Amino acid sequence: MIIQLKNNIDSDQKKAIIKKVNSFKYEANEVKTQKATYLIGIGTKEFDIRQIGNMPGIADIHIVSDSYKLVSRKWKVKPTIIDLGDGVTIGEGSLAMMAGPCSIEGEEQIVETIEHLKANGIKIMRGGVYKPRSSPYAFRGMGIEGLQLWYKHAKAAGLKIVTEVMQVSQIEPMLEYVDIFQVGARNTQNFNLLDALGEIDKAVMIKRGISGTIDELLYSAEYVFSGGNEKLILCERGIRTYEKASRNTLDLNAIPILKEKTHFPVVSDPSHGIGIRRHVEAMALASIMAGADGIIYETHSNPSKAFSDGQQTLDFRESEQLCNKMRATYELLASF
Ligand code: PEP
Ligand code: MN
């Protein structure tokens, strides 16, 4: 059960509501976000919500049978659109394209990538400055200086930044420069990180864990929301299966399932999803057909020289072609 409280509720009214909720053997968890205050009722007994619904101080009340609540579409039927400002949105009604290198490598690479993105109408640039690498000896990112340099150029070009945050202590220094905090597949269940991201007023994109289920991804999103942040995006990026012919198995099934289960935008990462450059396009277009609200992919002026993930990174010619095909695919889908 989700009860949205009126902004002007007084403490006696709130106490009375909690007492009533408890009388049905439901626990009432208070969630305060930047937008509103909610009571999340956790319990199993069936009862008629009209017994609570007309109490003073209640703006809205819903029974949500899913065990995740605030991210559930059973509560919010209408899709939530994430507004990044300056006319850039992610969610129903448009296709969000996010592209850039796996890792931010230096000024020249930042500038040439921005030029490429601008020429192709892409408004959100991806790139890692903190890189989770399987080997500790691999390139681990330029850190905050890399982000500051990137921000300087991105801001001048009017581009938004999506980048991975790996630990709680990085959030504060990154805050000013980041539009979307990416939670990487290795951190999907880092609950301390999710709690901390609940406290900020910036969008958070949570990637599905390497061996994570769809429900686990939804619970991770519930963590951020219940921590206070309602600006969420979910990302399918492939899961580990027994298949060795591709880096991961992009779970296209997850896209319509997630779209049905949550009101938040669902995007797909075909680069990590398949891990093979020449097949990224096919998986991007398939993701759009499956209902993805956006695509995040890796591109670099010279993938063979990329510091990380070159094998799955498109060069600018391939990236341009992909952009054109993604737009055409999205329009085709909209025309059905
Ligand atoms: C990335 O986006 O470069 C990345 C490391 O992603 P993931 O967490 O999905 O592996
Ligand atoms: Mn990568």
Q: Whose CA is nearest to atom 10 of ligand 1?
A: 185
Task: Quote the ligand 1 centre to 83 CA distance (angstroms).
Answer: 23
What confidence category does residue 48 fall into, taking pLDDT thresholds of 50, 70 and 90? confident
pTM of the predicted model as reported, rounded to 2 decimal places: 0.97
Q: Which ligand is nearest to the CA of 212?
A: 1
**Nearest of 140, 134, 137, 135 to residue 102 by alpha carbon:** 140
Residue spans of beta strands (DSSP E) within the chain = 2-5, 27-32, 37-42, 58-62, 82-85, 88-90, 96-100, 124-126, 160-164, 180-183, 203-207, 232-236, 266-268, 294-298
pLDDT at 235: 99
Cα of 133 from ligand 2 centre, angstroms: 9
Ligand 1: residue whose CA is nearest its atom 4: 184
Contacts 24+ apart (CB under 8 A), 223-226: 223/191, 223/194, 223/195, 223/198, 224/194, 224/197, 224/198, 225/31, 225/33, 225/70, 225/71, 225/198, 226/29, 226/31, 226/40, 226/70, 226/198
Task: Quick: pLDDT tens for 186-214.
Answer: 999 999 999 999 999 999 999 999 999 99
**Rounded distance from Cα 299 to ligand 2 centre (Å):** 10
Average pLDDT over the chain reads: 97
Residue minimizing CA distance to atom 8 of ligand 1: 184
Six token digits for residue 104: 């931010």
Indicate if the pLDDT at residue 156 is higher than 90.
yes
* pLDDT cut 90: percent of the chain above it: 97
Tokens at 6, concatenated: 């009126």
pLDDT at 45 over 90: no
**In this structure, which residue's CA is closest to atom 3 in ligand 1?**
102
For residue 294, is pLDDT > 90? yes
Q: Which atom of ligand 1 approaches the CA of 309 most closely? A: 3
Q: Is the CB of 128 under 6 A from ligand 1?
A: yes
Measured distance between the N- and C-terminal CA atoms of the chain, rounded to whole angstroms? 36
How far apart are the CA of 165 and the centre of ligand 1, in A?
11
Confidence band for 260, pLDDT divided at 50, 70 and 90: very high
Q: How far is the CA of 137 from the centre of ligand 1 (A)?
A: 17
Mean pLDDT of 134-161: 97
Ligand sitting nearest the alpha carbon of 165: 1
Residue (of 161, 198, 199, 166) closest to 180 by Cα position = 161
Pocket test for ligand 1, best of 204, 246, 272 (most atoms within 8 A of CB): 272
DSSP conformational letter for 241: -
**pLDDT at residue 47 greater than cutoff 90:** no
Model confidence at 38: pLDDT above 90: yes
Interior/surface letters 121-146, b for 16+ CB within 10 angstroms, e for the rest: ebbbbbbbbbbeeeeeeeebbbeeeb
pLDDT band (50, 70, 90) for residue 105: very high
Residue 146: predicted pLDDT: 98
Mutate to test the pocket of ligand 1, among 102, 165, 251, 296 (most ligand atoms within 8 A of CB): 102
As a whole number of angstroms, the distance between CA 213 and CA 220 comes to: 11
Please tell me the predicted confidence (pLDDT) of residue 40.
97
Q: Which of 89-93, 131-135, 219-223 has the lowest mean pLDDT?
A: 131-135
pLDDT of residue 46: 85
Q: Higher confidence at residue 260 or residue 48?
A: 260
